Copies of this chain bind each other. A is one copy, B any other.
Amino acid sequence: MRILVQKFGGTSVANLECMQQVKQKVLHARENGYKVIAVLSAMSGETNRLLNMAGQWSQCPDEAEVDALISTGEQVSVSLFAMLLQNEGIKARSVLGFQIPLKTNTAYSRARILDIRKDTLVELLEAHDVLAVAGFQGINDDNRITTLGRGGSDTSAVALAAALGCECEIYTDVDGVYTTDPNMCSAARKLDRISYDEMLEMASMGAKVLQIRSVEFAKKYKVPVRVRSTFTNDSGTLLTQEDSQMEAVMVSGIAYDKDQARITLRGVPDTPGVAASLFCPLADAGIVVDMIVQNPSLDGVTDMTFTVPRKDLTRALELVEKTRAEVGAKEVLHDLNVCKVSAIGVGMRNHSGVASKTFATLRRENINILMISTSEIKITCLIEEKYTELAVRTLHDAFGLDKDQSQAG
């Protein structure tokens, strides 16, 4: 039995016309001989409508009840879609999380998948040609409905494909993964392939194509994931393991993230434990600290600079001010007008000179680099926000991303 998992997001099932498009994608896979698992999200807007209802009573409603509430969104999508397919004479049915079951831990609203009963799916696929599976939802050991967090349907789809050992197509409103944001740089080019690690770095930079967790899942279980558009026939971008062809390319993409704020704690006495006393309270408050730079100590005093998501700036500043008073540091500075720009590519592992080329390109445009951080496959520079577009374009150009490099390799 050849199986294909296809995942369709909220905009793809928003209404009657959209669902017809989704139907075409499913029928096409059927024509190619696949049994199809169509993982659907709630119709766009539905989850927010339900959350607003929950918000009537309380600012922080019980998460178990919120999950029971919002999981109805996917239930509506899959039952309607199953009816649509049946109406075309296709053997289809809806499948909910508890019916598989797709078991998760008990972390309501952000549950993690523990187990998927493969046997049930195979049995159902023997009796049906298409299963419309509710994304985003599972069931925990208490027999209560859980949800996987925003974008969790991507994770559902990849996890189902992992369980069944098949490929997963993620349909969205873009036709693949680009070398950079096409809205920022008209020379942006769609990638035919991208490695899991590169996609993870892209996603962590705020690229909205795929949820990070789904990519991690795909990487862990080596699930081939193809990102495609519901509204075109383009073959999209394949997420896969690295291969030599990929490594031949120095840089695969340029990403940026404007959702950053920089905080500097100046005049910190450089004693053991001072970093912990600064960052532990932030971690406890659930604030994700990203880039961290500590200047070399001078006269036993140092500066510590780091970035946080903009929405968390106010809370972060309160906590940092408390630490400042405790450790006897001089002052707290912050800056909202910053942006991270990254060059990403698994080829960096084998190519030298990516960092220097990045710095030289930015210098040529007189863009000042405020902070630098690097990973094995990424060079990130924090710059002033006003230079974002200029930086993205010139780096895209400098690394030749407007040309198909898989040939050039």
The reply to whether A54 and B72 form a contact with Cβ atoms under 8 Å apart is no
Contact of A61 among B50, B68, B83, B145 (CB under 8 A): B83
What is the number of residues of chain A that contact chain B, defined by CB distance less than 8 Å? 34
Q: Mark A60-72, 1 if CB is under 8 A from B, else 0.
A: 0110111011011
The answer on a CB contact under 8 Å between A94 and B65 is yes
**Residue A75 interfacial (CB < 8 Å):** yes
Contact between B87 and A57, CB atoms less than 8 A apart = yes
Closest residue of chain B to A72 (Cβ to Cβ) is B72
Interface residues of A in 63-91 (CB under 8 A from B): 64-66, 68-69, 71-72, 75-76, 78-80, 82-84, 86-87
CB distance from A129 to the nearest CB of B (A): 14
Interface residue A98 (Cβ < 8 Å from any Cβ of B): yes
Contacts of A99 in B (CB 8 A): 143-144
At the interface, yes or no: A16 with Cβ under 8 Å from chain B?
yes
Which B residues lie within 8 Å of A94 (CB)? 65, 68
**A40 contacts the other chain (Cβ, under 8 Å)?**
no
Q: Do B50 and A65 touch (CB < 8 A)?
A: no
Q: Is A93 an interface residue when CB atoms closer than 8 A count as contact?
A: yes
Set B16, B61, B72: member contacting A76, Cβ < 8 A: B72
Query: CB-nearest residue of chain B relative to A99?
Result: B143
- A32 contacts partner chain B, Cβ-Cβ < 8 Å: no
Cβ contact within 8 Å between A83 and B98: no
Q: Does A186 contact B (CB under 8 A)?
A: no
* Distance of A101 from chain B, by nearest CB (Å): 9
Q: Which residues of B contact A65 (CB under 8 A)?
A: 79-80, 82-83, 86, 93-94
Which residues of chain B are within 8 angstroms of A50 by Cβ–Cβ distance? 76
Residue pair A58, B76 in contact (C-beta under 8 Å): no
Contacts of A71 in B (CB 8 A): 75
Q: Which residues 95-131 in A have Cβ within 8 Å of B in the complex?
A: 96, 98-99
Give min CB distance, A146 to chain B, whole Å.
13
Contacts of A93 in B (CB 8 A): 62, 64-65
Query: When each residue 338-377 of chain A gets 1 if its CB lies under 8 Å from chain B and 0 otherwise, what string results?
Result: 0000000000000000000000000000000000000000
What residues make up the interface of A, taking CB atoms closer than 8 Å to B? 16, 50, 53-54, 56-58, 61-62, 64-66, 68-69, 71-72, 75-76, 78-80, 82-84, 86-87, 93-94, 96, 98-99, 143-145
Which 8 A-B pairs rank lowest in CB-CB distance, beginning with the nearest?
A72-B72, A69-B79, A68-B79, A61-B83, A65-B79, A58-B87, A57-B87, A65-B82
12 contacts between A and B (CB under 8 A): A57-B80, A57-B84, A61-B86, A64-B93, A65-B86, A65-B93, A68-B79, A69-B79, A69-B83, A71-B75, A75-B75, A99-B144
